Structure 1
Amino acid sequence: MRNSRKRSQDEDSSSSSSSKLDRHKMAHHHRYPDFNFGDSYNQFTPHLDSGHRVFGKRTNSAPYHEAPSVAPKLKILCDIVAKTPATAVESVLEESGVRVCPEDVVKVLKLSYDCPGSALKFFRWASLQLNERHSAQAWDLIVDLLGRNCLFEAMWDAIKSMRKEFLLSLATFKSVFDNYVVSDRVQDAITSFEVMDQYGIPSDVAALNCLLYAICSHGKTRLAENYFRIVKERVRVDGETYAILLEGWEREREVGRARFTFSEMVSDIGWDKRNARAYDSFLCTLIEGPDGMREAMKDFNAMTERGCYPGMKFFKFAIDESVRKSDVRSAKVVWDAIVGKNVCLPNAAMYKSLISLYCSTREFDAAEKLLDEMVYYQAFPDSETYGVLFHSLIEHKRLREAIPVFKEMVKNEFVPMHQDCCAAVKTYIASGDPHMGLKVWRCMIESYTFDLDETGNLLVVGLRDMNRLPEAVKCAEDMIERGIKLNSATLTKLKQSLSKIGKTFAYEELLCKWKSH
């Protein structure tokens, strides 16, 4: 469990001396490689054996309790690690008679982050069975486990032992960077990057990008940029470096800083079609700023003129923002880049957003065209996509256009929302189309069992008023049998119409059914 406590600004100044001390320790450790992991283990045993973390009490329930399908052998080992006092872990493990393989060690360590002392003793116990040949993944987990629990001195001792076994990799240092940053020790993360060469791992652009990502992803992009300014003099940065910084500015909504970084990127490495990730973050950041959509579209056009395009994130964001602001013009420009220039495949959510935009501006032909073309781009409409268009067509009395949408929707086993069914029945009956009124009603009663009375009575009266008396009576009978309340006022109107044509007996039969239900 990570230490999420933040130091106050007053503490920052006092921490600088401790950071320098830690850096001295790192260098000191490098000069004396014989100081091994076993020594560190003994040094930290008093803290680890106490059953407490350096920064707080151990949680009552270990994470393995929440893990699905833990194998019986692993559960035994995890139980021992989680529930046994650290001083007795090794003896209890020995008494268990359980044998482990490298894969078992990895799985147990992954589930034992809440118990650093006991996990470390399990690791030492297992090394005896494995002839002290732990896998690189197991060592990486130990480094991460110690780092997450703020046991940084022990973490570095583990790293030195890994170096002796030639097991260190960039993945090891990624964990170091992340855990220092999470613990509000960014300078120590930077120092770790600077001493990587001493541990046989090059402090190149790949490592720098890992460091900057750890810093930026935890809301400290200004600190990352400050170091970036220093280190770029000796490390040749690439497009990913700038993408990481731009993603940081995006998370922190720093429009001005993002624009400065983007300009610097173009100046340093030029325009590159492969750098869609950086373009993505930059444009998404601009959208969040004042007059955001206009600014983003201006830079988007500048990119496309050079054959460079952002990724799917921006396209979806831009479409959603266009919908929010009813900006059809921008939406069409973005959509033309997606589909017309075949930059990426639009998904169903993007289609739904654009269809809703066209519906809100009453451009129904364009909306229907989008619905028709979806399948050609492997984006299949769902209930909401159909529903957006059907709702708008009914709301604006575009009843003829709504018919094929409804039929296709039902054919694909989707149902309009309850309120849309009610509105459609009412509107079709009012427009003199009993056929579609009945079609929607049948769909409605097959799909919903609530709030049917008002629409059902409206339909019966509407059919009767259009001289469709047999259908009105049949519909009334079906409502009674389904337990849908037929109003006395509706019955009275049916009685009047049936009496006029000499079919009072039909009314008597209907009344009898009505009373019996």
Structure 2
Amino acid sequence: MAAEKSRPFTPVAAPRFPTYHTASDLPPQARIICEILATTPVHEVEARLAAAQIQLTPEIIPRVLKLSYNNPSTAAKFFRWSGLALQHTGYSWNLMVDLLGKNQLFEPMWEAIHSMKKEGLLSLTTFVSVFENYCVTGRFDEAVMTFEVMEGYDVQPDTVAVNSLLSAMCREENQTVKALEFFERIKAKIPPDADSFAILLEGWEKEGNVAKAKCTFEEMVICVGWSPQYMFAYDAFLNTLVRGSNADEAIKFLHIMKGKKCLPGLRFFSNALDIFVKQNDLAHAVAMWDVMTGGGVLPNLMIYNTMIGLLTRNNDIDGAFRLLDSMAYDGAFPDSLTYNMIFECLIRNKKVREVVMFYNEMIKNEWPPTPQNFTDAIKMMFSGDDPEMAVEMWKYMSKNNISPRDDSANAVLLGLCNLVRLTDLRRFAEKMIDEGIIICESTMTKVRNAFLKEGRSGRETYDHISSKWKSAYLKT
């Protein structure tokens, strides 16, 4: 296999391809050969291989080739040398073709293909490798030419071959138009299937081309109809619409798909909902949710939480409660995140009575508030005429060792200061200091002011608390 003259090969630095250095369970003979190929000049390879006196087996050859992509010239020497002792399998030939193609040695690659034809070992797998390696290097015309000459090599260019070339093209950046050009030329001769359209739609999705996606989807419906089996195509099309700010059309198509019993799966709904969350688009999220659940698609916990998060962000408390009530019916049981998003929303909207009721439900279901939500709830309870519940929350935190609770402790002390509940203030302050909780200097100022209003006895009480606080502060 002569080296390509028109385009000299520049060796690619490892670790572009896997090497024998990191291969596990590699037979000793294969490892020795790999090391020879990696460290020996090309003109000495055959002599080194012969001197090693390795007993070749059909299994060793592909193992060596897979780990020698970084050494194409010596790998080619090994392939030729080993072929004198053993007849290469079609699998080994395909590896050699791929190795040469990956290294842009296209002339020797074609020489290998000619040899495979003589041996009767060519298959579609061979040509798929050629498609991919041409497309990776931007040689799309050569990839199409390869497809066109397949029949001359006794390999039928069928729909699978078409899809393989389309896929190789669409994987490259902004090349779906090239794939479409090939598709338009070939579709009259080789009818496309659903996979053909799915590949193009995924290409348009990656490129964000809404107009082309619509055209391709319309043609797909005409050519292959509707089927739940075409889910990947539907997902790609709808994702393109949603990401392209065409949510109204996406909802319209979802209604059509629902009528055809061809709704997409959770992959699409999850992706679309994430986009609506980023856009804070509650209206389209709700519309999509109604189609999804009305069509029998069961949302999982993650999707429920995403939707509840969007509802609570927009202060739609009733909507959040409706979803919370429906979760168990869909087998998606609420977790800490579910409860805390709703709890936070209730606090933010100063729903004192609802906060108390929901807090009790959270404790009953063993999903307590987060430390931050505890702090915010305690503050709200003191300002919302329910200080006993604030104290109850603090006691729960302390009893269950929920941490960090420094902020909540300071909120309790400030609330008691404002209510001038000095007996409780002293009791809680001393206990908090004993527990090593950090009391802020600003909080201590409020505590001092509250006690000083009580004259001498109040000053003595504060001095006692202050002494303990300073002692604890110095220890830390």
User: Fold-level match, TM-score > 0.5?
Assistant: yes
Aligned length: 462
Q: The residue matched to 1:482 in structure 2 has which SS?
A: coil
Residue 113 of structure 1 pairs with residue 69 of structure 2:
yes
Structure 1 residues 499 and 412: alpha-carbon distance in aligned structure 2, compared to 1, 3 A threshold: farther
Query: How far 1:209 moved relative to its partner?
Result: 0.8
Q: Give me the whole-angstrom Cα distance separating, in 2, the residues matched to 1:455 and 1:139.
A: 71
Q: Which residue of 1 aligns with 2:307?
A: 354
Q: Which residue of 2 aligns with 1:320?
A: 274
Deviations 1:320-362 (A, max 9, x none): 333344444432332233333224x423332222112211332
| Residues 82-97 of structure 1: pairs in structure 2 closer than 5 A | 82-96=38-52
TM-score (norm 1): 0.76
Letter of the structure 2 residue corresponding to residue 335 of structure 1? W
Residues 118-127 or 402-411, more deviating: 402-411
1:189 to 143, 148, 165: 143
Contact 2:46 2:78 in 1 (8 A): yes
Letter of the structure 2 residue corresponding to residue 241 of structure 1? S
Q: Give me the whole-angstrom Cα distance separating, in 2, the residues matched to 1:92 and 1:407.
A: 79
Structure 1 residues 69 and 111: alpha-carbon distance in aligned structure 2, compared to 1, 3 A threshold: closer
Deviations 1:155-184 (A, max 9, x none): 223233444555433332222111111111
Q: Which residue of 2 aligns with 1:256?
A: 211
2:320 to 367, 372, 381: 367
Structure 1 residues 347 and 166: alpha-carbon distance in aligned structure 2, compared to 1, 3 A threshold: farther
Deviations 1:458-478 (A, max 9, x none): 312324555383475245433
Deviations 1:53-85 (A, max 9, x none): 944343155644698563464655544433333
Q: The residue matched to 1:56 in structure 2 has which SS?
A: coil
Letter of the structure 1 residue corresponding to residue 195 of structure 2? E
Structure 1 residues 428 and 82: alpha-carbon distance in aligned structure 2, compared to 1, 3 A threshold: farther
Q: Which residue of 1 aligns with 2:377?
A: 424
Letter of the structure 2 residue corresponding to residue 301 of structure 1? H
Residue 461 of structure 1 pairs with residue 414 of structure 2:
yes
Query: How far 1:381 moved relative to its partner?
Result: 4.9
Residue 213 of structure 1 pairs with residue 185 of structure 2:
no
1:238 to 170, 193, 206: 193
Deviations 1:67-118 (A, max 9, x none): 8563464655544433333333444445556656555544443333222223
Query: How far 1:204 moved relative to its partner?
Result: 0.8
Deviations 1:268-301 (A, max 9, x none): 23333332222222222222335x1112222222
Structure 1 residues 183 and 367: alpha-carbon distance in aligned structure 2, compared to 1, 3 A threshold: same
Query: How far 1:314 moved relative to its partner?
Result: 2.8
1:147 to 101, 118, 127: 101
Query: How far 1:369 moved relative to its partner?
Result: 3.7
Q: Which residue of 2 aligns with 1:5?
A: none
Q: Which residue of 2 aligns with 1:296?
A: 250
Contact 2:371 2:402 in 1 (8 A): no
Q: Which residue of 1 aligns with 2:222?
A: 267
Q: The residue matched to 1:485 in structure 2 has which SS?
A: coil
Q: Give me the whole-angstrom Cα distance separating, in 2, the residues matched to 1:469 and 1:123.
A: 91
Structure 1 residues 181 and 473: alpha-carbon distance in aligned structure 2, compared to 1, 3 A threshold: same
| Residues 333-482 of structure 1: pairs in structure 2 closer than 5 A | 333-343=287-297, 345-374=298-327, 376-379=329-332, 381=334, 384-402=337-355, 419-431=372-384, 432=386, 433-438=389-394, 441-442=397-398, 446-448=402-404, 452=406, 455-463=408-416, 465-466=418-419, 467=421, 469-470=423-424, 473-482=427-436
Letter of the structure 2 residue corresponding to residue 366 of structure 1? G
TM-score (norm 2): 0.82
Q: Give me the whole-angstrom Cα distance separating, in 1, the residues matched to 2:177 and 2:275.
A: 28
1:81 to 31, 37, 53: 37
Residues 317-326 or 138-147, more deviating: 317-326
Letter of the structure 1 residue corresponding to residue 309 of structure 2? S
Q: Which residue of 2 aligns with 1:247?
A: 202
Query: How far 1:202 moved relative to its partner?
Result: 1.9
Query: How far 1:248 moved relative to its partner?
Result: 1.4
Contact 2:263 2:295 in 1 (8 A): no
Contact 1:425 1:440 in 2 (8 A): no
Letter of the structure 2 residue corresponding to residue 353 of structure 1? T
Residue 485 of structure 1 pairs with residue 406 of structure 2:
no
Contact 1:62 1:112 in 2 (8 A): no
Query: How far 1:128 moved relative to its partner?
Result: 5.9
Q: Give me the whole-angstrom Cα distance separating, in 1, the residues matched to 2:151 and 2:88.
A: 24
Query: How far 1:235 moved relative to its partner?
Result: 0.7
Contact 2:430 2:468 in 1 (8 A): no
Letter of the structure 1 residue corresponding to residue 318 of structure 2? D
Q: Give me the whole-angstrom Cα distance separating, in 2, the residues matched to 1:259 and 1:162.
A: 42
Query: How far 1:213 moved relative to its partner?
Result: 1.1
Q: Which residue of 2 aligns with 1:159?
A: 113
Q: Give me the whole-angstrom Cα distance separating, in 1, the residues matched to 2:447 and 2:12.
A: 72
Contact 1:116 1:145 in 2 (8 A): yes
Residues 79-88 or 467-476, more deviating: 467-476
Letter of the structure 2 residue corresponding to residue 315 of structure 1? F
Q: Which runs of 5 or more structure 1 residues have no equivalent in the other structure? A: 1-40, 48-52
Structure with higher RCO (Cα < 8 A, 6+ apart): 1
Query: How far 1:224 moved relative to its partner?
Result: 1.4
Q: Give me the whole-angstrom Cα distance separating, in 2, the residues matched to 1:341 and 1:411.
A: 34
Q: Which runs of 5 or more structure 2 residues have no equivalent in the other structure? A: none
Structure 1 residues 185 and 447: alpha-carbon distance in aligned structure 2, compared to 1, 3 A threshold: same
Letter of the structure 1 residue corresponding to residue 66 of structure 2? K
Contact 1:425 1:436 in 2 (8 A): no
Deviations 1:363-417 (A, max 9, x none): 2233234345445545455554444333322222235545576677778887766
Q: Give me the whole-angstrom Cα distance separating, in 1, the residues matched to 2:363 and 2:114.
A: 66
2:182 to 195, 210, 227: 227
Contact 1:62 1:111 in 2 (8 A): no
Q: The residue matched to 1:59 in structure 2 has which SS?
A: coil
Structure 1 residues 408 and 390: alpha-carbon distance in aligned structure 2, compared to 1, 3 A threshold: same
Structure 1 residues 84 and 66: alpha-carbon distance in aligned structure 2, compared to 1, 3 A threshold: closer
Query: Identity over aligned residues, as a percent?
Result: 36
Contact 1:498 1:506 in 2 (8 A): no
Contact 2:76 2:96 in 1 (8 A): yes
Q: Give me the whole-angstrom Cα distance separating, in 1, the residues matched to 2:464 and 2:199.
A: 77
Contact 1:197 1:203 in 2 (8 A): yes
Q: Give me the whole-angstrom Cα distance separating, in 1, the residues matched to 2:352 and 2:81.
A: 76
Contact 1:181 1:189 in 2 (8 A): yes
